Amino acid sequence: MDMPIGFRMAGVSCAIKASGKKDVTLIVADEEAVSAGVYTQNKVVAAPVVLCRARTPGDSARAVIINSGNANACTGTQGERDAARMCQVTAEHVGISPDQCLLMSTGIIGVPLPMSKVEEGIHLAYQQLGNSEQHFLDAADGILTTDKSRKIASCEFNLGDRSIRIAAMAKGAGMIGPNMATMLCQILTDAPLTPEDAQAILARVANRSFNNISVEGHTSTNDTMLLLSSCKAGGPTLTGAQIDAFESELATLCIDLAKQIPTDGEGASHLIEIQVTGAASESDARAISETIASSNLVKTAIYGSDPNWGRIVSAAGYAKCTLDTNHIGLSINGIELFRQGQPIEFCEQTASRSIAENPTTVIEIVVGSGPGSCTHWTSDLTVEYVRFNSEYTT
């Protein structure tokens, strides 16, 4: 992996999770770092989100403490005190001010944090801090909940005579809905950025990646996407075309990470990629893609390898957007099923086999001749998803 300069990290277990898996992650910047954040659009938000919103963007962050297994959401004033205490304990270990700490939590909603375990976890994580690839992987494991595997991405690229590195970890598998999903994402980079540029870049990138994924459309209380930059790559702050180049690299990395979430959707057997083109505007294309993605009939059709184009076309039609019904066209995995508002002959067995044999199903739908386009990623709806979520807290 390409590890950015200026960070140490660790992931440990402190028994928040009954499984004994890693459940506390600590990331420490060697010096004050630029920070930016994008958060859930749910009006019910967890204490860590309230805390981080007040501290980003900024230029003095030193630590991020993350726990999994407990969301510290809907926990009232006790949750606020516990969030502040996590920052206080972290600050005491690192030797910084509590307001230089950022915080994320994920897991069960409505249950107070087991603070004695959390504090022990912070202590253990501080003792194990390091900057190797294995330290990063341990940290990535510490933020997971129902995920089947860790979600990571990294890259290194040149801007002039400077090498820039980005490494990121994410979590999420269920309760995933646009703006944002039930997800956490921590991005580390050594690119020299101002807080204002970092925040603007992060917001735009989120809109191209994590705001374009869903599993069942349920937006959570804890969604947080943080960027920390050590600015250790050297040279002056990025400007102009350099910012554009950095944003392009970050967007590619985040789209990779974002797609890993519905791919790992609880019980999912297919990643569904919905490409909408020809819409009257980008916002219309986004709305149409999200409507198709949230249709249980579409999701179950893909689970059953059924090329039922009628479900997809009708979902586009109730998205309350401008459509040219005489211009609608639809393909699944490159097999054309519907053209110029009319069904066309195709081999249903071939189309069904294409869905069954590929882990990714690509739905391409043209809804007119406008300039608007959007790509959305979701998962199919399986029997296993229903079983898993019906038994989640019991």
Of 35, 37, 33, which is closest to residue 45 (Cα–Cα)? Answer: 37
d(CA 58, CA 276): 37
Residue 392 neighbours by CB under 8 Å, 6+ apart: none
Question: Could you confirm whether 361 is annotated as catalytic?
Answer: no
DSSP H or E stretch at residue 194: none
Burial of 99 (0-12, 13-18, 19+ CB in 10 A): middle
Nearest 10 degrees: Cα torsion 114, 117, 120, 121: -90
d(CA 214, CA 226): 20
> DSSP per residue over 265-304, as a string?
-TT---EEEEEEEEESSHHHHHHHHHHHHT-HHHHHHHHT
d(CA 360, CA 272): 6
Which is catalytic among the residues 25, 56, 106, 182? 182
d(CA 286, CA 276): 8
Strands annotated E in 201-258: 224-229
d(CA 277, CA 291): 14
The answer to whether 230 and 29 are in contact (CB under 8 A) is: yes
DSSP H or E stretch at residue 72: none
DSSP H or E stretch at residue 129: none
Which sequence positions are flagged as catalytic?
182
